[in-house]
């Protein structure tokens, strides 16, 4: 038996598996982002009532928590991922219409879109290039997310503008951390399902975009 | 629309309830961080902060 070949075979296989996971994840992410943008465009044209956002968010949450874990290892998982991203994209339509009706609305939306893309590409590039293990951030990020959700819940009733901006800034930082954490998990073998990785990265991008819109609209000039 | 607020509150409450066990498990499972680990995330996150300030300045 050739022990030298056996010794190098495993790392090469592992590297190929990681490269395949990264390629599949980014291909799927690109397709779901395009589909989500298409659904947002349809929603903007149809202009559904504001409660659409609530219903689509609830539907997407049910799919993420109840259906995706059961279908992630089958081809049905592909349809579930497109359903999740399509629902979230469709729910974005009324929000985008509201922002576009603001003075400089077009500039705000375009800046948030471009800014989200640059943040995602920059952080992913950093995590892929350094190949660092960011698994130490897991607990910290989940607790941060829980605190942010509790603050969002409180501010639904308190309606404090400064708290809304602080929450948006915090969520952008937490989601940036999640991009590093998820990309690190992909590179270091912490996760090997590209559908779960796609949904996780999509949610980070989605949240950064929404909260960047909130921040930019709060500081935008009114001309 | 108050019922919309109640709907969002219920949805967020459900998210918190569903995420709580996961957060506890993640806290227990996460490896302890070294100073080098924290340094490795400070720079990219500071760059994100700077970039967002730049975006805010561009629209204000």
Distance from CA of A76 to the nearest CA of B (A): 24
- Rounded average pLDDT over B3-23: 90
B53 near A CB under 8 A: no
- Rounded average pLDDT over B51-60: 94
pLDDT per position as a tens digit, A19-37? 899 999 999 999 999 999 9
Whether residue A166 is predicted with pLDDT greater than 90 in this model: the reply is: yes
Q: Where are the beta strands (DSSP E) in chain A?
A: none
Specify the pLDDT at position A9.
Answer: 53
Q: Chain A residue with minimal CA distance to B5?
A: A156
ipTM exceeding the 0.90 mark: yes
pLDDT per position as a tens digit, A93-142? 999 999 999 888 999 999 999 999 999 999 999 999 999 989 899 889 99
Specify the pLDDT at position A221.
Answer: 72
Q: A205 by DSSP, 3-state: which?
A: helix
> Do A50 and B1 meet the contact criterion of CB atoms below 8 Å apart?
yes
Contact A123 B48 (CB under 8 A): yes
**Residue bearing the bigger pLDDT, A103 or A178:** A178
Please state the length of chain A: 223
**Residue bearing the bigger pLDDT, A6 or A30:** A30
- Rounded average pLDDT over B1-19: 88
Q: What is the dihedral of CA A203, A137, A117, A44, to 10 degrees?
A: 20
Distance from CA of B14 to the nearest CA of A (A): 10
> Do A78 and A198 meet the contact criterion of CB atoms below 8 Å apart?
no
Distance (Å, whole) CA A192 – CA A22: 9
Candidates A57, A173, A215; nearest CB to B56: A215
Distance from CA of A5 to the nearest CA of B (A): 33
Q: Which structure tokens are listed for A5?
A: 């070949």
- Is A35 exposed, middle or buried (CB count within 10 Å of its CB: 0-12, 13-18, 19+)? middle
B56 near A CB under 8 A: yes
Distance (Å, whole) CA A64 – CA A37: 19
Please state the length of chain B: 60
Contact B19 A145 (CB under 8 A): yes
Distance (Å, whole) CA B8 – CA A95: 15
Distance (Å, whole) CA A158 – CA A181: 32
Contact B37 A136 (CB under 8 A): yes
Contact list in A for residue B22 (CB cut-off 8 A) is 142
- Rounded average pLDDT over A183-204: 92
**pTM, full prediction:** 0.92
Contact list in B for residue A143 (CB cut-off 8 A) is 23, 27
Scanning B5-44 for CB atoms below 8 A from A yields 5, 7-9, 11-16, 18-20, 22-23, 26-33, 37, 40-41, 44
| Whole-angstrom Cα Rg for chain A | 19
- DSSP string covering A52-99: HHHHHHHHHHHIIIIIHHHHTTSTHHHHHHHHHHHHHHHHHHHHHHHH
pLDDT per position as a tens digit, A41-89? 999 999 898 888 899 999 999 999 999 999 999 999 999 999 999 999 9
Contact A139 B29 (CB under 8 A): yes
Nearest Cα neighbor of A90 from A128, A129, A133, A36 is A36
Identify the residue among B15, B22, B36, B39 best suited for mutation to test binding to A, counting A beta carbons within 10 A and taking the highest. B15
Whether residue A164 is predicted with pLDDT greater than 80 in this model: the reply is: yes
Specify the pLDDT at position A220.
Answer: 85
């Amino acid at each position: 038996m050739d022990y030298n070949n056996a010794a190098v075979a495993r790392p090469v296989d592992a590297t190929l598996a990681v490269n395949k996971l990264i390629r599949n994840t980014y291909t799927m992410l690109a397709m779901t982002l395009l589909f989500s943008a298409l659904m947002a465009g349809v929603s903007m044209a149809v202009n559904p009532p504001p409660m659409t956002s609530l219903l689509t968010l609830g539907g997407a949450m049910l799919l993420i928590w109840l259906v995706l874990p059961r279908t992630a290892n089958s081809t049905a998982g592909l349809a579930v991922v497109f359903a999740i991203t399509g629902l979230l994209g469709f729910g974005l339509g009324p929000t985008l219409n509201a922002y576009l009706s603001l003075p400089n609305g077009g500039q705000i939306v375009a800046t948030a879109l471009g800014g989200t893309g640059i943040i995602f590409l920059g952080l992913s590039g950093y995590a892929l290039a350094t190949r660092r293990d960011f698994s130490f951030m897991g607990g910290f990020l989940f607790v941060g997310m829980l605190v942010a959700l509790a603050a969002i819940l409180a501010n639904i009733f308190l309606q404090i503008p400064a708290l809304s901006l602080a929450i948006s800034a915090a969520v952008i930082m937490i989601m940036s951390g999640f991009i590093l954490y998820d990309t690190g998990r992909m590179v270091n073998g912490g996760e090997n399902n590209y559908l779960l990785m796609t949904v996780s990265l999509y949610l980070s991008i989605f949240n950064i975009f929404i909260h960047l819109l909130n921040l930019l609209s709060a500081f935008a000039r009114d001309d | 629309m108050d019922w919309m607020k109640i709907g969002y509150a219920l949805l967020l409450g459900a998210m918190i309830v569903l995420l709580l066990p996961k957060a506890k498990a993640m806290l227990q499972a996460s490896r302890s961080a070294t100073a080098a680990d924290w340094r490795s995330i400070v720079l990219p996150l500071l760059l994100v902060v700077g970039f967002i300030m730049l975006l805010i300045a561009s629209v204000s």
